[in-house]
């Protein structure tokens, strides 16, 4: 990535943050949603992440600060849409492990990360976050359109299940909100750590949903009923969760995930993996 490939306003934000946080920028690269730069400060290697525009990750810095390094990447500075983070080395995620006959180990690691994140009660003062009830409004938005890509009966069923779960939650807490194989990286010093939280308030059973529909490029893995049940068993036993509620949340979230993809402008064909997962789960409810 070179400076002249970035929009002027984004480049200006990065340069301002570099001055404010006294970092020297090295190599940078772009993702769909952000610009990631490897930086240094006082001989310490760090990562500067700047979000392109306001969205799900805009307040991720606040969420990471609330978890205070427990199961998550450490944060040193943050502002709206920007974070200065510890650099994880080698920084590989859990996808390859899950895809190469290591799904049970990957599932165990994800459970361990969740355990570390729940070892403390995050301080919510000053944290901008939504509740799972707010996220559930996506069903109503979709039903108000005439879009045919998600079967209407499936949306209505998921909306009812989701609303019942929201109304009957046990202890609510701050959740990562998007915890899955791509968002857990390995560091040689600190082990496996979560990155890129969206932040949402809800019961812990909600947190499992994203795990159950990933890795997204291997739908045959998570669409297998036997694999789905093994994952549920391992996660709920280790985390002492209600398996029926985990399954029900996973159903609602799978349909909601497809709705969000449509809202974000993506094509959602009938072969959409989250929707196929919803079909797998529905008979289990």
- List the chain domain ranges: 3-87, 93-284
Segments of the chain scoring below 50 in pLDDT: 1-2
- Give the pLDDT of residue 283: 92
- pLDDT tens for 172-218 read 999 999 999 999 999 999 999 999 999 999 999 999 999 999 999 99
On whether the pTM is more than 0.75, the answer is: yes
pLDDT reported for residue 124: 80
pLDDT for res 2: 47
CATH superfamily of 93-284: Aminoglycoside phosphotransferase (APH), C-terminal lobe (3.90.1200.10)
Cα–Cα distance for residue pair 219/215, rounded to 1 Å = 7
Residue 144 confidence (pLDDT): 98
Centre a 10 Å sphere on the Cβ of residue 215 and count the other Cβ atoms it contains: 21
| Residue of 34, 37, 64, 33 lying closest to 48 (CA atoms) | 37
**3-87 fold:** Phosphorylase Kinase; domain 1 (3.30.200)
Selection from 22, 205, 8, 186 nearest residue 97 by Cα: 186
């Amino acid at each position: 990535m070179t400076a002249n490939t970035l929009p002027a306003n984004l480049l200006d934000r990065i340069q301002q943050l570099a001055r404010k946080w006294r970092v020297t920028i090295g190599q940078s690269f772009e993702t769909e949603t952000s610009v990631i730069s490897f930086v240094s400060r006082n001989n310490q290697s760090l990562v500067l992440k700047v979000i392109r525009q306001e969205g799900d990750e805009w307040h991720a810095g606040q969420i990471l600060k609330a978890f205070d390094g427990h199961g998550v990447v450490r944060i040193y500075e943050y502002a709206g849409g920007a974070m200065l983070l510890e650099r994880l080395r080698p920084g590989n995620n859990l996808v390859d492990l899950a895809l190469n006959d290591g799904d049970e180990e990957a599932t165990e690691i994800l459970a361990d990360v969740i355990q570390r994140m729940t070892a403390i009660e995050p301080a919510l003062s000053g944290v901008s976050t939504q509740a799972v009830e707010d996220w559930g409004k996506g069903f109503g938005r979709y039903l108000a359109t005439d879009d045919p890509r998600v079967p209407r009966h499936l949306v209505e069923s998921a909306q009812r299940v989701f609303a019942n779960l929201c109304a009957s939650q046990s202890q609510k807490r701050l959740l990562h909100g998007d915890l899955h194989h791509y968002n857990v990286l390995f560091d040689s010093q600190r082990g496996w750590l979560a990155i890129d939280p969206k932040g949402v308030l809800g019961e812990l059973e909600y947190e499992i949903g994203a795990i159950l529909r990933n890795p997204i490029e291997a739908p045959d893995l998570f669409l297998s009923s036997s694999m789905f049940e093994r994952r549920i068993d391992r996660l709920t036993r280790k985390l002492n969760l209600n398996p029926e509620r985990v399954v029900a949340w996973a159903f609602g979230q799978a349909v909601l995930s497809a709705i969000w993809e449509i809202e974000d402008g993506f094509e959602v064909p009938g072969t959409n993996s989250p929707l196929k997962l919803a079909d797998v789960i529905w008979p289990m409810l």
